[in-house]
Amino acid sequence: MTQILVLNGPNLNLLGSREPEHYGRDNLETIEKRTKEIAQEFDFDIEFFQSNTEGTLVDLIQEAGKCAVDFIIFNPAAFTHTSVAIRDALKAVNIPFIEVHLSNIHNREEFRRNSYFSDIAIGTISGLGAIGYELAVLAAHRYLSDDTRQK
């Protein structure tokens, strides 16, 4: 069974009440539920995590490398703009991933435009709100079933 890991960075546990003008009104539990529903349609085995700690995210990515995770959907939140450690972990395990942001990181403060992940991700979804996670599952399905892609 295809294993998908969804990782969420700092402060995403506050979704629902946190700056709704940027992040919408859905909480992470609702997003997780909807994302899992889509994943089930593709028979994906999917796990969802959120952590406010950089080291925990690095550990989860390293663990994913050992557990044969096929694909990662990742909202690194503020670590998007700061974390060489998480970037290095993703490069080390070499698991394809999609970077997801609820808000459009390109039309906010200047510092949000820089991502440590976009150039090593399969692709990035930014600014579409909570549906970005569901679209990422669909994109993961297409990506994993495309035999023309170089392995």
- Catalytic residues, which ones? 23, 101
**CA neighbours closer than 13 Å in the CB half-sphere of residue 102:** 22
Please tell me whether residue 50 binds ligand DQA under the rule CB under 6 A.
Answer: no
Q: How far is the CB of 55 from ligand DQA (least distance, A)?
A: 18
Residue with tokens 């690194």: 76
Burial class (CB in 10 A: 0-12, 13-18, 19+), 140: buried
Please tell me whether residue 75 binds ligand DQA under the rule CB under 6 A.
Answer: yes
Using CB under 6 A, pick the residue from 61, 72, 90, 105 that binds ligand DQA: 105
Task: Select from 93, 56, 55, 54 the least CA-distant residue to 72.
Answer: 93
Please tell me whether residue 121 binds ligand DQA under the rule CB under 6 A.
Answer: no
Between the alpha carbon of residue 136 and those of residues 17, 32, 49, 52, 132, the distances in Å are: 24, 13, 16, 22, 6
Q: How far is the CB of 50 from ligand DQA (least distance, A)?
A: 11
Select 65 or 127, whichever has its Cβ closest to ligand DQA: 127
- Residues within the interface to ligand DQA (CB under 6 A): 11, 75, 77-78, 80, 101-103, 105, 112
